[in-house]
Amino acid sequence: MITFSQVTKTFGDDQPALEDISFHIEPSELAVVTGPSGSGKTTIVKLLTKEYLPSAGEIVFDQRPLSEVPPGLVHHHRRQIGVAFQDYRLLDDLNVWENVALALSIISKPVDEIERRVTDLLDLVKLTDKAMLFPKQLSGGEAQRVAIARALSTGPKLIIADEPTGNLDVDTSKSIATLLTKINSLGTTVLITTHDPVILDELAGYKHLELKNGQLVKGASQPPSPAAPPEDSADVQPTKSDQPAKSAKSAKSDKQHETDQADTEQTTTDQTDQPDTSNSGSGSLIGKLSKLLSKSADNLAGDTNDDAVNDPEPPTKGSSSSQHSNRAKKPTKTTKQKS
Ligand code: ADP
Ligand code: MG
């Protein structure tokens, strides 16, 4: 799913934020990246989302080199990756339900599909009863669960949680780690960065990459050797980790996972449907969205920086049918705490 091959990232004349790192993460794998503050964890995340471009080396995501993703299609690439940040980055003016629905609304998913999906996601993160609350009314753990549900909303191939427990107490941190293993057990590739030993302990047995001063001191894969003769090629497997990481299935047996039926289908986000603004209870969301669209686009894209790739194109309109059933559970949106 992810291959970093001899990737270096430098900012100006500073010491490299990442230096010649190579690793591989399989589809449906859960990997934990640890390292002290400043060791390069977030830089890996931003390279994956193409907010940063590597100074050297190549990154392959889902079999495609990121260098081949043109600036005009970066938005499409980013839709395959859901990111949950340490500071949650929820929109204060939207309630829990609306925060999770936001990305789906932006890509014009039909309202019945949005309602079905948000219902399932809030069930997954156990926040159904808080759907009408606003971010300021949530605990840190609840806010992070909303951020994770939002990251999952468009059915990404990869979920990244960047220091998801940085602001949380030990028990809440453990519950977030458990939630992420559960999401992984349902088939999504998961990448977690942390400097929290509690999380690492909780995720013992999963793939572990350790950074120190921008260098990968644990979990590195062998870079390809251009000088290697063909008969030696069996020793050189740039796309394989040297460490047998647990797959979602094998790691799952170590932990007790719940078996809730969450909808983790891969939403084909490049096949957008016609906006459906029919009277389904989400009309106020659509209205808010038109006001918040520019703000939310910034929020979803994360930090901007000098290497950021512009993402000017709207989602591609596809031919996906709008034949969606109305079997969706209606959200229990009865009272609004704030209009
Ligand atoms: P971590 O997430 O492990 O705390 P980061 O990846 O954020 O570390 O940062 C690694 C190094 O790269 C740090 O020295 C940081 O100052 C530097 N760095 C990250 N982003 C930028 C940037 N946009 N400009 C300059 N330096 C940066
Ligand atoms: Mg960081």
Closest ligand 1 atom to the C-alpha of 307?
23
Does residue 38 have its Cβ closer than 6 Å to ligand 1?
A: yes
Q: Is the pLDDT of residue 142 over 60?
A: yes
Q: Is the pLDDT of residue 29 over 70?
A: yes
> What average pLDDT does the segment 167-175 reach?
94
pLDDT at 291: 53
Q: Which ligand is nearest to the CA of 52?
A: 1
Closest ligand 1 atom to the C-alpha of 211?
3
Please state, in angstroms and as integers, the Cα–Cα distance from residue 9 to each residue in 42, 146, 208, 247, 307, following that order: 12, 31, 21, 29, 11
> What average pLDDT does the segment 194-200 reach?
93
Which run of H or E residues covers position 201? Answer: helix 197-202
pTM for this model (two decimals): 0.73
Q: Which ligand is nearest to the CA of 304?
A: 1
Q: Which ligand is nearest to the CA of 12?
A: 1
pLDDT at 229: 53
Q: Which residue has the higher pLDDT, 254 or 187?
A: 187
Closest ligand 1 atom to the C-alpha of 195?
3
Pull the structure tokens for residue 327: 């079997």
Summarised one tens digit per residue, pLDDT across range 73-101 is 999 999 999 999 999 999 999 999 999 99
Is-contact 54 114, C-beta < 8 A? no
Does residue 294 have its Cβ closer than 6 Å to ligand 1?
A: no
Q: What pairing do the DSSP bridges indicate for beta strands 158-162 and 81-85? A: parallel
pLDDT at 285: 53
Q: Please tell me the residue having the least CA distance from ligand 1 atom 20.
A: 43
> What average pLDDT does the segment 2-12 reach?
97
Neighbours of 92 (CB within 10 A): 10
Q: Separation of 32 CA from ligand 2 center, angstroms?
A: 13
Q: Separation of 304 CA from ligand 1 center, angstroms?
A: 13
* Residue length of the chain: 339
Does residue 54 have its Cβ closer than 6 Å to ligand 1?
A: no
Confidence class of residue 222 from pLDDT cuts 50, 70 and 90?
confident
Is-contact 102 94, C-beta < 8 A? yes
Does residue 39 have its Cβ closer than 6 Å to ligand 1?
A: yes
Which of 13, 21, 42 gets mutated to test ligand 1 (max ligand atoms within 8 A of its CB)?
42
Does residue 305 have its Cβ closer than 6 Å to ligand 1?
A: yes
Does residue 250 have its Cβ closer than 6 Å to ligand 1?
A: no
Q: Which residue has the higher pLDDT, 324 or 203?
A: 203
Contacts (Cβ under 8 Å, ≥6 apart) of 2: 23, 24, 25, 48, 59, 60, 61, 158, 189, 191
What average pLDDT does the chain have? 76
Domains of the chain: 28-54+70-218 (3.40.50.300)
> What average pLDDT does the segment 127-149 reach?
98
User: Position 248: which residue type?
Assistant: A
CA distance 84 to 141: 12
Please state, in angstroms and as integers, the Cα–Cα distance from residue 282 to each residue in 54, 275, 297, following that order: 41, 12, 19
- Identify the top-confidence range among 236-245, 281-290, 324-333: 281-290
Pull the structure tokens for residue 182: 């559960």
Which of 14, 41, 43 gets mutated to test ligand 1 (max ligand atoms within 8 A of its CB)?
43
Closest ligand 1 atom to the C-alpha of 46?
6
Sheet of strand 64-65, all strands in order from the earlier edge strand to the far edge: 18-25, 2-9, 56-61, 64-65
